[in-house]
């Protein structure tokens, strides 16, 4: 257990170092660091509605982050969460706008399933190329992510554009209010139960089932896993599918919850932040929940900060970058050579 304790400690240290470095930059640029930090606490926890807002931003991070965890567990690197999230939201929107007169629970169910299906499809293509041909999934998921963002841009500017919209940024029509599962705060009992349930299910799957164990084995050493009689390709595909499904679900939750309509390029950082969240959470379900709340709090705070200081919002992007830049540092680092490393199902 000392090993995992060390990992927790080193991650906490690295996150704190990132915060301090960012604070140093703010201080050097002449911003009152004390005010900024007290503003972050207010905006994330103490101000009216702040903790709700923290949860609201933590939800997509958690769902997409869990997807990243699942992928990593089987040894795959899904950094395309953003695109899967967008495509999921688009499909849920298409279902909801196409079937406005339908009974609300049924439409929401169909829309959510469509979103999950779309997210799955969006990650299964890179997944299939990976397990069948050994195509590098980092590149393909990233490319699919860009394509997903362009699809959203096309839909919100074209076929699904709200014709009466006058704003500068393209946005879709709103879904009927009866389809929404939260108010504009983005948090309700339904959503909390849903997201909590998903987190518990993912935990059970990873830690308490045969399938979860075979995923871990494939992730650690595919060759050995194959000798153990595990169908490495099938496990890999399932991991990709689940990973995309979770990101797609996040898209549906975003639409039926706080969004109600889709704006081109909404939540632009969420996919990448979710990868950081998963890494800060040490690629475990519990850790990811904690990290998602932490980063949700930061997101909520940055929207609140302009009230107390004149800090520009990009400071948050800077902070995320700093955390990502540093969080994977290994204290006992040596540049590992090409060893018997995971060539997953490639061979």
Partner 1 sequence: MEQILATTLRSAAPLVLVATAGVFAFRAGIFHLGLEGLMITGAFTTVAVGDATGSVELGILAAVGVNLVLSALYWWVIGPLGANVIIAGLGLTSIGLGGTAFALGAIFDKRGSIFTDVVLPRPVRGITSGAGVIVSELSILVWITPLIVLTAWVVLRRSRFGLRLAAVGEYPFAARSVGVNPSIVRLQALLIAGALCALGGAELSVGALRNFTENMTNGRGFIAFVAVIFGAWHPIGAALAGLFFGFADAIGIQSQINITERVPREFVLMIPFVITIFAVWLGGLWRRRSLEAEAGYAELREPDY
Stretch that binds partner 1, among 91-99, 193-201, 218-226, 230-238 (CB under 8 A): 218-226
Angle at 74 between CA 250 and CA 132, to 5 degrees: 100
Angle at 184 between CA 183 and CA 188, to 5 degrees: 40
* CA–CA separation, 233 and 133 (whole Å): 11
Residue 20 found at the interface with partner 1 (CB under 8 A) = no
The least distance separating partner 1 from the CB of residue 178, rounded to whole angstroms, comes to 31
In sequence order, what DSSP letters do the residues of 314-329 get, joined into one string? HHHHHHHHHHHHHHT-
Stretch that binds partner 1, among 34-42, 186-194, 216-224, 235-243 (CB under 8 A): 216-224
Residue 335 found at the interface with partner 1 (CB under 8 A) = yes
Q: Which of 113, 138, 213, 308 binds partner 1 (CB under 8 A)?
A: 138
* Cβ-based nearer residue to partner 1, 14 or 252: 14
- Report how far apart, in Å, the C-alpha atoms of 81 and of each of 3, 74, 105, 251, 344 are: 29, 16, 27, 10, 21
Contact 276, 288 (CB under 8 A): no
Q: Which of 19, 23, 104, 326 binds partner 1 (CB under 8 A)?
A: 326
Residues whose CB falls within 8 Å of the CB of residue 209, separated by 6 or more in sequence, listed in order: none
The least distance separating partner 1 from the CB of residue 315, rounded to whole angstroms, comes to 5
Residue 135 found at the interface with partner 1 (CB under 8 A) = yes
- The 3-class secondary structure across 227-292, one letter per residue, is HCCCCHHHHHHHHHHHHHHHHHHHHHHHHHHHHCCCECCCCCCHHHHHHHHHHHCCCCHHHHHHHH
* CA–CA separation, 298 and 316 (whole Å): 7
Residue 272 found at the interface with partner 1 (CB under 8 A) = yes
The least distance separating partner 1 from the CB of residue 234, rounded to whole angstroms, comes to 18
Number of residues that bind partner 1 (CB under 8 A): 71
Residues 175-214 close enough to bind partner 1 by CB under 8 A: none
Q: Which of 19, 47, 129, 290 binds partner 1 (CB under 8 A)?
A: 129
Dihedral (Cα; 334, 338, 339, 344), 10-degree rounding:
120
Residue 290 found at the interface with partner 1 (CB under 8 A) = no
Backbone angles phi, psi at 328, to 5 degrees: -90, 5
Q: Which of 143, 208, 217, 287 binds partner 1 (CB under 8 A)?
A: 143
Residues 49-108 close enough to bind partner 1 by CB under 8 A: 72, 75-77, 79
The least distance separating partner 1 from the CB of residue 126, rounded to whole angstroms, comes to 8
The least distance separating partner 1 from the CB of residue 344, rounded to whole angstroms, comes to 8
* CA–CA separation, 329 and 9 (whole Å): 12
Residues 149-178 close enough to bind partner 1 by CB under 8 A: 150-151, 153-154, 157-158
The least distance separating partner 1 from the CB of residue 223, rounded to whole angstroms, comes to 12
Residues 25-44 close enough to bind partner 1 by CB under 8 A: 25, 29-31
Block residue for tokens 């946005």:
171
Stretch that binds partner 1, among 200-208, 235-243, 287-295, 320-328 (CB under 8 A): 320-328
Q: Which of 33, 47, 147, 290 binds partner 1 (CB under 8 A)?
A: 147
């Amino acid at each position: 257990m000392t090993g995992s304790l060390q990992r927790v400690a080193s991650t906490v240290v690295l996150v704190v170092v990132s915060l301090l470095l960012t604070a140093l930059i703010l201080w050097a640029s002449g911003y009152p660091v004390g005010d900024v930090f007290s503003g972050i606490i207010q905006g994330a926890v103490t101000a009216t509605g702040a903790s709700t807002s923290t949860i609201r931003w933590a939800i997509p991070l958690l769902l997409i982050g869990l997807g990243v965890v699942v992928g990593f567990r089987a040894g795959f690197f899904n950094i395309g969460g953003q695109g899967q999230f967008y495509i999921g939201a688009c499909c849920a929107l298409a279902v909801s706008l196409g079937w406005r007169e339908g009974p609300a629970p049924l439409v929401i169910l169909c829309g959510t399933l469509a979103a999950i299906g779309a997210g799955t499809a969006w990650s299964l293509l890179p997944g299939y190329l990976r397990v069948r041909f050994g195509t590098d999934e980092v590149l393909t998921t990233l490319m699919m992510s860009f394509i997903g963002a362009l699809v959203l841009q096309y839909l919100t500017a074209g076929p699904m554009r709200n014709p009466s919209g006058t704003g500068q940024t393209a946005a879709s029509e709103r879904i009927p209010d009866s389809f929404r599962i939260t108010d504009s705060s983005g948090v309700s009992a339904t959503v909390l139960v849903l997201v909590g349930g998903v987190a518990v299910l993912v935990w059970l799957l990873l830690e308490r089932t045969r399938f979860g164990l075979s995923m871990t084995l494939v992730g650690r050493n595919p060759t050995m896993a194959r000798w153990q009689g595990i169908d490495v390709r099938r496990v890999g595909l399932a991991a990709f599918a689940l990973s995309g499904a979770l990101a797609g679900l996040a898209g549906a939750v975003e639409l039926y919850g706080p969004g109600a309509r889709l704006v081109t390029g909404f939540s632009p950082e969420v996919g990448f932040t979710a990868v950081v969240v998963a890494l800060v959470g040490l690629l475990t379900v519990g850790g990811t929940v904690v990290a998602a709340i932490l980063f949700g709090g930061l997101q909520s705070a940055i929207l609140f900060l302009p009230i107390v200081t004149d800090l520009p919002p990009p400071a948050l992007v800077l902070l995320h970058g700093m955390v990502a830049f540093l969080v994977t540092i290994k204290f006992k680092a040596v540049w590992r050579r090409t060893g018997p490393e995971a060539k997953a199902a490639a061979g």
